[in-house]
Structure 1
Amino acid sequence: MISACLLNEEDDTLAIVPIKTTEPLPSDVIWLDVNQPDEEERSWLEALLVEDVPEEDEMDDIESSSRFRVGPDGVHILSLFPQRISNETHGVNMSFTMRKNLLISFREDDISIVRLLRYYIRHNKVDIRSALDILVKLQELKVDQLSDLIEDAYSTLEETSDQITDELHVDETLEELVNQEELNSQILQALHDTRRALRFIRKTFGSSLEDRQIRILDEVLTDIESILPHTSFISNKINFQLEASMGYTNQKQNSIIKIFSVAAVVFMPPTWIASVYGMNFKFMPELEWYWGYPLSIGLMIMSAAITYFFFRKKGWL
Structure 2
Amino acid sequence: MIAAYQPDGAGLAPLPEGHGPEAALWIDLLSPDAQETALVEALGIDVPTLEDMEEIEISNRLHREGDCQVMTVMLPGRDDEGRQFSAPVTFLLTPERLVTVRHHSPRPFETFATRAERSSAGSGTPVRIFLGLVEEIIARQADLLEATGRVLDRVASEVYGEEANDVEGLRLALRDIGQQGELTAKVRLALFTMERMLSTFIVWNGTMKHRDPQIGTLAKAQMRDINALEVHLDFLNSRVALATDATLGMINLDENAVVRTLSVVAALFLPPTLIASIYGMNFANMPELNEPYAYYIALGAMVASAVGTWVWFKAKGWL
Q: TM-score, normalised by structure 2?
A: 0.87
Percent of aligned positions that are identical: 26
Secondary structure of the residue that 2:50 maps to in structure 1?
coil
Q: Could you give the per-residue CA deviations for residues 66-97 of structure 1, whole angstroms, max 9, x where no partner exists? A: 11111246110002222258995322311111
CA shift, 1:175, in A, is 0.8
Cα separation, partners in 2 of 1:249 and 1:50, compared to 1, 3 Å: closer
Secondary structure of the residue that 1:250 maps to in structure 2?
helix
User: What residue number does 1:16 align with?
Assistant: 14
Q: Is the 8 A contact 2:195 2:226 kept in 1?
A: yes
User: What residue number does 1:135 align with?
Assistant: 130
Q: Is the 8 A contact 2:15 2:24 kept in 1?
A: no
Cα separation, partners in 2 of 1:209 and 1:176, compared to 1, 3 Å: farther
Q: Distance in 2 between matches of 1:153 and 1:13?
A: 31
Structure 1 position 161 matched with structure 2 position 156: yes
Cα separation, partners in 2 of 1:301 and 1:230, compared to 1, 3 Å: same
**Equivalent residue pairs, number:** 309
Q: Is the 8 A contact 2:21 2:39 kept in 1?
A: no
User: What residue number does 2:204 align with?
Assistant: 204
What residue ranges of structure 2 are gaps of 5+ in the alignment? none
Secondary structure of the residue that 1:109 maps to in structure 2?
coil
Q: Distance in 2 between matches of 1:14 and 1:283?
A: 105
User: What residue number does 1:194 align with?
Assistant: 194
CA shift, 1:280, in A, is 5.3
Cα separation, partners in 2 of 1:166 and 1:211, compared to 1, 3 Å: farther
Q: Distance in 2 between matches of 1:42 and 1:87?
A: 26
User: What residue number does 1:96 align with?
Assistant: 91
Q: Which of 222, 232, 256 is the matching residue for 2:234?
A: 232
CA-based RMSD: 2.5
User: What residue number does 1:295 align with?
Assistant: 297
User: What residue number does 2:32 align with?
Assistant: 37
Cα separation, partners in 2 of 1:140 and 1:24, compared to 1, 3 Å: closer
Structure 1 position 61 matched with structure 2 position 63: no
CA shift, 1:135, in A, is 1.0
CA shift, 1:222, in A, is 1.3
Q: Distance in 1 between matches of 2:250 and 2:106?
A: 40
Alignment-mate amino acid for residue 174 of structure 1: L
User: What residue number does 1:178 align with?
Assistant: 178
User: What residue number does 1:270 align with?
Assistant: 272
Moved more, 143-152 or 176-185: 143-152
CA shift, 1:234, in A, is 0.8
User: What residue number does 1:250 align with?
Assistant: 252
Secondary structure of the residue that 1:61 maps to in structure 2?
coil
Cα separation, partners in 2 of 1:316 and 1:24, compared to 1, 3 Å: closer
What residue ranges of structure 1 are gaps of 5+ in the alignment? none
Q: Distance in 1 between matches of 2:110 and 2:16?
A: 14
Moved more, 307-316 or 33-42: 307-316
Q: Is the 8 A contact 1:174 1:242 kept in 2?
A: yes
Q: Is the 8 A contact 2:78 2:106 kept in 1?
A: no
Alignment-mate amino acid for residue 14 of structure 2: I
Q: Is the 8 A contact 1:3 1:16 kept in 2?
A: yes
User: What residue number does 1:82 align with?
Assistant: 76
Alignment-mate amino acid for residue 187 of structure 1: V
Cα separation, partners in 2 of 1:13 and 1:138, compared to 1, 3 Å: closer
